[in-house]
Structure 1
């Protein structure tokens, strides 16, 4: 079975785990985060992860099969947790979700910068394995459908826009990890990315808002660059 299939299998079985199994998985993922920060992806081994987590190495292979699948799962679940938080805190599940998404992703990234920087290359190098597009589809797709219901968006572009929003969020974090974006500019870059994706496709008041919001973001970024 491929690493992609193994990562999907692990994700699909989360809800069926017992509390003890969930606790063990949490220890494994926490150990993987810690070792990524200390040693980097290439130097980290499944043996090291197992020792750090206090489990047998065969347990890791039983759950994830490979190191790539384990780290991809860690990256996906961390991102999904942040997106779920953004959804739950959004003022509404239309444009309010997109604003909440930018705020939550930037804040959570900056709360644990070492982990975020260690995982950023995984999001780019293991795109298919991490499968963030499917995670975003469940939330961004629903927010876009809300805009369709409000007659502000054509339903034919939902899938394309979902992919573009995913790319903009990942790109912002990756650029930040490479120190091309400053900490205090991260959220503005994300908001600007959302506006750039939506403005050519939304209509009515939302189009006007997206243009004005893009201007505000550009002004804010100009101030942070001074």
Structure 2
């Protein structure tokens, strides 16, 4: 059975204040129930009751539990990566550092939501459309490195996939308490370096080597300040 993809239209229809408030209640209820019961045990009836809406209304909006969770997760992931893009100092390596900081910060600020959605990002990545989001923004950042002659264009596609996997992996390791809050951004920055190092050249390769050593030192207990 095919499952509806999340609505990724860049021009969504305008919602009234009441509709936005209702969708926020639905999203909040979904996250809370996911954290409590897990993906498989969660039902549309449970979400409707917790959100204070009719179950029929919920189905009219999202059509299925899978579509609801996919859309909610997609919108959250897209919001995080868009914020990282807007905060980045540049469209190249600056974006990857901004992504590490932004994703780590929001994950730690919203731990219940992040832990509830972490397995969804692994088990339902295609449904969420995560690769599409990363392809749009990570692909643009890697293209900027190509323009700087620091990377070959033929490497962009595989590196985009690697970045997606490494960021999702870091969040899931954090969700399982393998990575501490204070170390999450460091792990993500280290992942950036590890993905780039076999492929980049010149000054960027030198920076990635130095930054990787700095991150490893921080993770082993030595104190270093980030240098961007």
Structure 1 residue 95: Cα displacement = 0.4
> 1:86 & 1:104 partners in 2: Cα distance?
6
Q: For the residues of structure 2 that align with 1:120 and 1:133, how far apart are their CA atoms?
A: 15
Preserved CA contact (<8 Å) 1:152 1:203: yes
- Cα displacement (A) at 1:13: 7.4
CA drift of 1:14 comes to: 6.2
RMSD: 1.7
Per-residue CA deviation, residues 15-67 of structure 1 (Å, 9 max, x unaligned), is: 22323444433322122112223333333221121122232212222232221
2-structure distance, mates of 1:22, 1:105: 24
- Match of residue 106, structure 1, among 88, 104, 107: 104
Distance 1:127 1:91 in 2: 29
* Residue 15 of structure 2: aligned partner: 18
Distance 2:31 2:193 in 1: 32
2:2 is equivalent to residue 2 of structure 1:
yes
Question: Structure 2 regions of 5+ residues with no counterpart?
Answer: 223-228
**1:143 partnered with 2:141:** yes
Residues in 1 aligned to 2:16 and 2:154: alpha-carbon distance in whole angstroms: 42
CA–CA distance in 2 between the matches of 1:194 and 1:164?
A: 9
TM superposition shift of 1:93: 1.1
TM-score by length of 2: 0.91
Checking the alignment, whether the CA contact within 8 Å between 1:7 and 1:64 is kept in structure 2 is no
**TM-fit CA distance, 1:163:** 0.5
- Shifted more, 100-109 versus 16-25: the winner is 16-25
Structure number with higher helix proportion? 1
Secondary structure at the aligned position of 1:38 is classed as: helix
In 2, the alpha carbon distance for the partners of 1:183 and 1:125 equals 23
Counterpart of 1:127?
Answer: 125
Say how many residue pairs are matched: 221
Give SS of 2:149's match.
Answer: coil
**Higher mean Cα deviation, 215-224 or 162-171?**
215-224
Q: CA 1:212/1:146 → structure 2, altered by over 3 Å: closer, same or farther? A: same
How far apart are residue 151 of structure 1 and its match? Answer: 1.2
Match of residue 189 from structure 1 = 187
